[in-house]
Amino acid sequence: MARRALLLVLLLCANAPGLNARKDEVCFGELRCIPLRDCPKRPLNPEPDPRETINTQFLFFSRESFGEEQKIPGYKIKRDVLLNTKFDPARRTMIIVHGWIDNVFLGKWMTIMKDALLRNGDFNVILVDWTGGNGLPYTQASVNTRLVGAEIGLLVTKLMETFGISPSTVHAYGHSLGAHVVGFAGKWLNGTLGRITSLDPAEPLFEFCPPQARLSNTDAEFVEVVHTDSSSFVPHLGLGMDLAVGDVDFYPNGGQHMPGCNLNDRFVRIQDKNILEGIRTVAACNHMRAIDYVIQFLENSVVNSTCTPIAFACQNYEIFERGYCSDCGSDGSRCAVMSLDDANHNGGLRKKSNDPVRMYFKTGPKSPFCLHHYNIEMKMLRDPKKRLQEVSGDVTIEIAMARGISRKFELKQENGDDFTPGAAYRYLITSEIPLEDVSHITLTYRSKKLLFAPKLSVKYLKFTPMTATKSRMDLKKLSKFFCPKISAVESRYPSKLREEFC
């Protein structure tokens, strides 16, 4: 695997034109000067291609022109040209930027995201096409991101001069290399953009660069990042960054391997796509999942989905999976909602901090992806006289709801540890449907001993929905206690627990 990754690096960087070790910057008139050597760990420093070669195009859309584009080349942005568009300064402006070897037509996701945004709100939507500069070699495309970012910065400046808009009303989305493009646009505008949503920003040639040479949380008033392919490029061929670079960094499913992206699932999904889209699905499923999640959560907002994609701050994903990061904290700053309008949820996180905030949540393997999260606490009976012993085994619960619906879950012990009298154990469970109107919970314990199996002494199960509530008192009200009729649960005999105060 390491050899394959090295060969890929050589392919991506081969024949990079314009290498120049002497220049520290190159200037492009109204686009200002672009530094060439501000990332010491980047091995090659070519100059960006000329503006005319990259030929950045801006495609304007609105609800009035839902499927009708108004295309403006970046180097032709003039006041009279902008006045001839249907741009409305009273609306928020959404900018969408693709990445490497991608474009508006190959990357149908851009059109799908544009349509989802326009269904969700009355926005100006601008798609950015920079296919003249995003091909091989990758080294050249990575440097061209700076010039495209400057083109977007200039566009926003011209919109400010022509229509009097504030850059704080602009929200920029960028995928892969496009995530760094919108970062450089934010730098060009001195961090005055309202919001950046970065979709799995590209790792190669950026991961170990200082903030001035990549996307960073100073590029806008609020920067959120979605990491879905954060395994290292060498040797695992992960295409996205693992480094937390935003105000909020979302790591769904831990950020490396997404459900539904195993090899069999990838080939099944090809049947619903054309050949180019199919190749992208097989080769970069995890990398593209960030797009899938954001688009689907936008669509969920349109249809008023009952499932809210809430992420929770945690030291790492392993601790999150063990159920130890399950509330928003006393001020609401320990969770965030991955959605279009998050002001009611992420207010505490909008305050700039030097410390990165890593947020975790789980998703399903297919659309609509969003899962309902719950925390289960299993409290063991105390044993002041030390008559009870530690027991080992597996625990399964079945949550019964109204209309005969039920769901089963395994409560897995970390490293197969024993259950200790008086101890409390926490678990994270997820469901594609809300677990509501719970009538009872059936607990089944299976001892690892076949003969003379000891009983499991359970005091209660506490069932708590993981919501975006900012008050721990409100969260406490949501918690429900389910108690066994007899605390000593025999191995392999299901025990029914009902809601009551234990």
The domains found in the chain, sorted by start residue, are: 2-322+330-361 (3.40.50.1820), 372-499 (2.60.60.20)
Tell me what pLDDT residue 7 has: 42
The 8-class DSSP code of residue 83 comes to: H
Q: Which of 77-81, 346-350, 448-452 has the lowest mean pLDDT?
A: 346-350
Ordered DSSP codes for 274-307: -HHHHHHHHHSHHHHHHHHHHHHHHHHHHTT-S-
Clarify whether 200 is annotated catalytic: yes
Tell me what pLDDT residue 387 has: 77
Mean pLDDT of 55-80: 88
| Beta-carbon count within 10 A of 480 CB | 15
pLDDT(412) > 90: no
Clarify whether 287 is annotated catalytic: yes
Measured CA to CA in angstroms, residue 342 lies from 110, 339, 410 at distances of 22, 6, 33
Mean pLDDT of 139-150: 97
Whether residue 252 has a cis bond before it, omega within 30° of 0: no
Which one has a higher pLDDT value, 192 or 21? 192
Task: Give 408-411 contacts, CB < 8 A, sequence gap 24+.
Answer: 409/376, 411/376, 411/378
Q: Which of 129-138, 238-247, 473-482 has the lowest mean pLDDT?
A: 473-482
Active-site pick, 49, 129, 200, 342: 200
Active-site pick, 175, 180, 287, 373: 287
pLDDT(15) > 70: no
229 is in an annotated binding site: no
Percent of the chain with pLDDT over 90: 67
pLDDT in tens, 277-307: 656 666 789 999 999 999 999 888 766 678 8
Tell me what pLDDT residue 225 has: 97
219 is in an annotated binding site: yes
Clarify whether 176 is annotated catalytic: yes
